[in-house]
Chain A
Amino acid sequence: QKEVEQNSGPLSVPEGAIASLNCTYSDRGSQSFFWYRQYSGKSPELIMSIYSNGDKEDGRFTAQLNKASQYVSLLIRDSQPSDSATYLCAVFTGGGNKLTFGTGTQLKVEL
């Protein structure tokens, strides 16, 4: 079982719709959770972090964390073509002392 799992996609949504990206993790001791956006040929950029159960909103982005079910999700409202990218989920586990990344979900926002 992979430590951090994501559906590779591509996930296609129409412009203006809500995109929902999901990530599950295996270590119950995980403490911090992150979403990175990576455009093709570019490096990952941190867009959201979440540390406690519940929702965290930042503009059009909402991160959701459910530690009991070991999943974290990213919602993108009013999706724009500029949101088309690969989204990486990353999890920090104290025991490992470093981030573990999922392989990413490719999002395509279509006109």
Chain B
Amino acid sequence: DVKVTQSSRYLVKRTGEKVFLECVQDMDHENMFWYRQDPGLGLRLIYFSYDVKMKEKGDIPEGYSVSREKKERFSLILESASTNQTSMYLCASSVGRGRNGYTFGSGTRLTVV
């Protein structure tokens, strides 16, 4: 069974901390994505990557960065966490550009206090 694994299910961090969210997929997918999901706003794309060491900004990249050093791993970095980054973060991967859909990880509920 294919899997996308996010390292933490729940995370609580303090304002100003540097936060790393990790995502690993075992499907040899080229493409990986980071979304955040907030009530009433739906899924919003933060960053995505079509290949190792490649990254592209999504719709809301401000305050975030990413790293993809290996094909199976895509990390989201909050350089200086703020309370407005409290959210559910979802990682996804796909073969091709999404023509066959995405597979999501289980999500990380991040609370910044």
Contact = CB atoms under 8 A, between A and B. Distances in A.
B98 A97 contact: yes
Contacts of B33: 98
B63 interface: no
A32 interface: yes
Contact of A98 (B42, B48, B103): B48
Interface residues of A, number: 22
Given A43-B107, A44-B90, A103-B41, A34 B48 contact: no
B98 A103 contact: no
A92 B109 CA distance: 27
Given A44-B90, A88-B43, A103-B41, A97 B97 contact: yes
Interface string A86-111: 00101010100111011110000000
Contacts of A88: 42-43
Contacts of A99: 98, 101-102
B94 to A, nearest CB: 8
Interface of A: 31-32, 34, 36, 41-46, 49, 88, 90, 92, 94, 97-99, 101-104
15 contacts: A32-B99, A42-B106, A42-B107, A43-B90, A46-B103, A49-B100, A88-B43, A90-B101, A90-B102, A92-B101, A94-B99, A98-B97, A98-B98, A99-B102, A101-B42
